[in-house]
Chains A and B, each alone.
Chain A
Amino acid sequence: MNSRDYQQIDPQALPTPAHSPLPHPADRRQEPRTPRRKWEVFPGKNRFFCDGRIMMARGCGVFPLTVGLILVTSTLFFIFDCPFLVKHLTRCIPAIGGVLFVFVLITLFQTSFTDPGILPRATPDEAADVERQIDDTGNTSYRPPPRTKEVLINQQVIKLKYCFTCKMFRPPRTSHCSLCDNCVERFDHHCPWVGNCVGKRNYRFFYTFIVSLSFLTAFIFGCVTTHLALRAQGGKGLVFALQESPVELAICFFSVWSILGLSGFHTYLVASNLTTNEDIKGSWSGKSGDGVTNPYSQKNIFINCCSVLCAPMPPSLIDRRGFLPPNESAQTSDADIEPPRLNHKNEMNVVGASLHLVLIVTLTNLK
């Protein structure tokens, strides 16, 4: 994250108004007690590394498995198939494989370690303001507001839901992820394979990751098949050749279909400017009424793709590496002392199952 040069004056940061000078970040660091950074008191269920530079969901999901599978398959490819293919075909094969492999890993890490577009929770003043607005009989009472608020977007009525955890009306296309306990903008889904939510800020990384992974798995699968075919021709027969690289072949065979399916599904989503969340819920499919179309779609595939993948990169709204004002350092967040969720495994199964369902739906549609 780039450090911000904002000279924003925070009236609540001044301990004694009469005598203390304007607080400057350098002064804060010279205080006897080390000031805490904002990531240390972040209320969501996230894990931070490298002093707040890297963040992931608290339960990493099967992210180590994803990395492991990619590494194992690629290593086996480079060790067993490349020498043979370089000798019999061309030297470009390891080069192409290497480029794809590096690309896949970089985009995977970008997806997993980037803030997906988390909305910080409402400050107490904001929350009180929202709760106060609802009662207009003249009495200032504070109670939770009604669950939904309607707004007009491109002449279509959209309901905004009130989030009781974050104490705000969620902007359109924002959803609260129960695994991370955060509201995420343009929430797509929580992906256990990358160990993070996929939202506005990291969707383009995720899309590039699955597309390049499909190329990589298809490439490795093709190379392995060619290798086997050439060996089988060479004399000893197909069965013997198969015995030499069973692991690679198995992983590639199963991955190719699922990853290709997922890429195809997400290409459809990008072209129609939809999120997985909206597609699964059928928000714009017209089930609930007629005339309901996606108000965010530009009705043009090229423009939709550009606005999803080539829009300016939005900034992270949670200032992870900023310093807390001195009077807030004493507060501890609930998340720090909360025990780990007991039903985490069940939820992972649910998410894994829904991903599986998505794949099945996609593969059925592709036929």
Chain B
Amino acid sequence: MKTERKLEKQARTVRSGYLYILSLALSASRDTAKMDLNMDSNAPHSMGTTIIGVTYNGGVVLGADSRTSTGMYVANRASDKITQLTDNVYVCRSGSAADSQVVSDYVRYFLHQHTIQLGQPATVKVAANLIRLLSYNNKNMLETGLIVGGWDKYEGGKIFGIPLGGTLIEQPFAIGGSGSSYLYGFFDQAWKEGMTKDEAEQLVVKAVSLAIARDGASGGVVRTVVINSEGVTRNFYPGDKLQLWHEELEPQNSLLDILNSPTPEPMNI
């Protein structure tokens, strides 16, 4: 469906037959770097994304980057991909921004009613199941991968991964989004059972930061949400304060700052 809409727009603004064919070939796969000369700001917003959910001894830590892209253009560089479903359950969203928002909104509504009927907070499992039912039953129309994490009094901290097709899988930790491809090996080595809250949060921040370094579709800031029996804590790690990895350059606020320095060189390598 996305490709059809793209085709229509491109047909209207095409400059030459050759360019048209080239852009068709390039935009056939969503993962290739698109040199879209005819960039379409009305194209569906996709969250490149890195999302992570990790259980620790006493609760869960959810983490995400903050980049929402429309093709090559970063539509929102400070988005909040960790949304609240109930007081004790949050969800990390990836894939199509619209699809994930709509699914979250429906589930928030159902959970609200469920909480009222039950007379007590909903469990993480129930929240995850509701998300799964929507994802699975509408799998032909949706494109969103979600990580549900929270704390309830029966099971403690739990993480459920609900990838594209609508599987529901309970995991001690879950990763998702385009940036997660670069984190599988990292987690195999760095993950351990029964971490403390601080260890878990440091792990999540480090992981998102590594993914941002390598994945073009992830970037911006790192947001984390810690959920345990005491409640929910939101944390924010600005992009320029993150640790630099191999071959990364120092962040610069503006290239214009170089002009004000004593020896203005166009590029300081």
A binds B: no
- A: residues with CB less than 8 A from B are none
